Structure 1
Amino acid sequence: MARKMLIDGEVKQASQVEEEANFDFDLFVIGAGSGGVRAARFSANYGAKVGICELPFDPISSEVNGGVGGTCVLRGCVPKKILVYGANFGGEIEDARNYGWEINEKVDFNWKKLLQKKTDEIVRLNAIYKRLLSNSGVKLYEGEGKVTGPNEVELRQLDGTKLKYSAKHILIATGSKAQYPDIPGKVSFQFFSH
Structure 2
Amino acid sequence: MYDLVVIGAGPGGYVAALRAAQLGAKVAVVERDKLGGCCLNRGCIPTKALVRSAEVYTTVREAETYGTRVQGSVALDMRAVMARKRDVVAQLVGGVERLLAAADVDVYRGTASVPAPGRVTVARQDGSSEQLETRHIILATGSKPKLPPVPEDHLRLTISSDDALELEEVPASMLIIGGGVLG
TM-score for both structures, normalised by structure 1? 0.74
Give the one of 135, 139, 142 matched to 2:109.
Answer: 142
- Read off the aligned partner of 2:111 and give its amino acid letter: E
Runs of 4+ in 1 over 4 A off after TM superposition: 178-184, 187-190
- Read off the aligned partner of 1:50 and give its amino acid letter: V
Unaligned runs of 5+ in 1: 1-23, 56-65
Equivalent positions of 1:37-186 (< 5 A) are 37-55=14-32, 66-179=33-146
- Read off the aligned partner of 1:72 and give its amino acid letter: C
Give the direction of change, closer, same or farther, for the CA distance of 1:190–1:111 in structure 2 (3 Å limit): closer
In 1, Cα distance between the equivalents of 2:80 and 2:103?
35
Unaligned runs of 5+ in 2: 164-183
- Read off the aligned partner of 1:33 and give its amino acid letter: G
| Aligned: 1:29 with 2:34 | no
RMSD of aligned C-alpha atoms?
2.1
In 2, Cα distance between the equivalents of 1:67 and 1:40?
16
TM-superposed CA distance for 1:158, in Å, is: 2.8
Contact 2:145–2:161 (CA under 8 A) maintained in structure 1: no
- Read off the aligned partner of 1:47 and give its amino acid letter: G
Give the direction of change, closer, same or farther, for the CA distance of 1:181–1:192 in structure 2 (3 Å limit): closer
Residue of structure 2 in register with 1:191 after alignment:
160
- Read off the aligned partner of 2:31 and give its amino acid letter: E
**SS class of match (2:47):** helix
1:5-61 CA distance string (max 9 Å, x none): xxxxxxxxxxxxxxxxxxx11100000011111111111111111111112xxxxxx
TM-superposed CA distance for 1:191, in Å, is: 1.5
Question: Which segment is superposed worse, 87-96 or 142-151?
Answer: 87-96
Question: Which segment is superposed worse, 172-181 or 143-152?
Answer: 172-181
In 2, Cα distance between the equivalents of 1:163 and 1:103?
59
1:60-108 CA distance string (max 9 Å, x none): xxxxxx2111110111111001111111223222322234321122222
Give the direction of change, closer, same or farther, for the CA distance of 1:47–1:99 in structure 2 (3 Å limit): closer
- Read off the aligned partner of 2:55 and give its amino acid letter: N
- Read off the aligned partner of 1:191 and give its amino acid letter: S
Question: Identity over aligned residues, as a percent?
Answer: 35
Residue of structure 2 in register with 1:9 after alignment:
none
In 2, Cα distance between the equivalents of 1:159 and 1:181?
33
TM-score for both structures, normalised by structure 2? 0.78
In 1, Cα distance between the equivalents of 2:148 and 2:76?
39
- Read off the aligned partner of 1:74 and give its amino acid letter: N
